[in-house]
């Protein structure tokens, strides 16, 4: 992951762009992957770990009715997270992550490994639904971070 993170920090620095994250199931692992790179302070603006529904509602202004209707792990919640993070952070690129990292908490509708990733750059918004096959929590978290880093590189 560090080579991807290094590439991203270098590209963002060169293009004078900033980055912000709102993480749930990755618990700050994405922010850590970027802030472990020297010089990341020039490009990394802020990171929220909005693990609870309350944090999503209070910090990211995700409407309670969105979580009540669709759940915390949903396209709709991920979209609300990334849109509101973008407003709060004023970063060029905003990322939101919400998912089920396991090993517990999965359902038939929302199995372990289901992760939504939101990316907003300018007016462009991508919400990607992922289903990581591992049942191992840290593997799902690492796979999510790797997927996000690839998405960021693709948009740069």
Taken in order of first residue, the domains within the chain and their CATH numbers are: 2-155 (3.90.950.20)
Q: Is the distance from CB of 154 to CB of 9 less than 8 angstroms?
A: no
How much is the pLDDT for 134? Answer: 87
- Output phi, psi for 113, to 5 deg: 100, -10
In a structure prediction context, what are the per-residue pLDDT tens digits for the chain, which is 156 residues long?
689 999 999 999 999 999 999 999 999 999 999 999 999 999 999 999 999 999 999 999 999 999 999 999 999 999 999 999 999 999 999 999 999 999 988 999 999 999 999 999 999 999 999 999 988 999 999 999 999 999 999 999
How much is the pLDDT for 135? Answer: 80
Concatenating the DSSP letter of every residue in the chain gives -HHHHHHHHHHHHHHT--EEEEESTTTTHHHHHHHTSTTGGGTEEEEEE--SHHHHHHHH---HHHHHHH-SSSHHHHHHHHHHHHHHH--SEEEEEEE--SSS---SSS-TTEEEEEEEETTEEEEEEEE-----HHHHHHHHHHHHHHHHHHH-
To the nearest 10°, report the CA torsion of 95, 32, 46, 53.
60
Q: Quick check: pTM over 0.95?
A: yes
How much is the pLDDT for 2? Answer: 82
Please name every residue paired with 130 in a beta bridge, in sequence order, or none if there are none. 115
User: How far apart are the C-alpha atoms of 14 and 31, rounded to whole Å?
Assistant: 20
How much is the pLDDT for 1? Answer: 64
């Amino acid at each position: 992951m560090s080579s991807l993170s290094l590439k991203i920090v270098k590209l963002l620095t060169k293009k004078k762009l900033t980055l912000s994250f709102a993480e749930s199931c990755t618990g700050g692992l994405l922010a850590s992957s970027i802030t472990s790179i020297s010089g990341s302070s020039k490009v990394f603006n802020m990171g929220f770990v909005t693990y609870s529904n309350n944090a999503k509602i209070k910090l990211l202004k995700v409407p309670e009715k969105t979580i009540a209707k669709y759940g915390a792990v949903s396209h709709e919640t991920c979209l609300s997270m990334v849109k509101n993070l973008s407003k709060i952070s004023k970063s060029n690129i905003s990322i939101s992550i919400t998912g089920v990292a396991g090993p517990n908490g999965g359902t038939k509708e929302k199995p372990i490994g289901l992760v939504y990733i939101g990316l907003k750059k300018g007016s462009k918004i991508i919400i990607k639904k992922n289903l990581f096959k591992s049942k191992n929590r840290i593997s799902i978290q690492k796979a999510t971070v790797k997927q996000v880093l690839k998405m960021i590189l693709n948009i740069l």
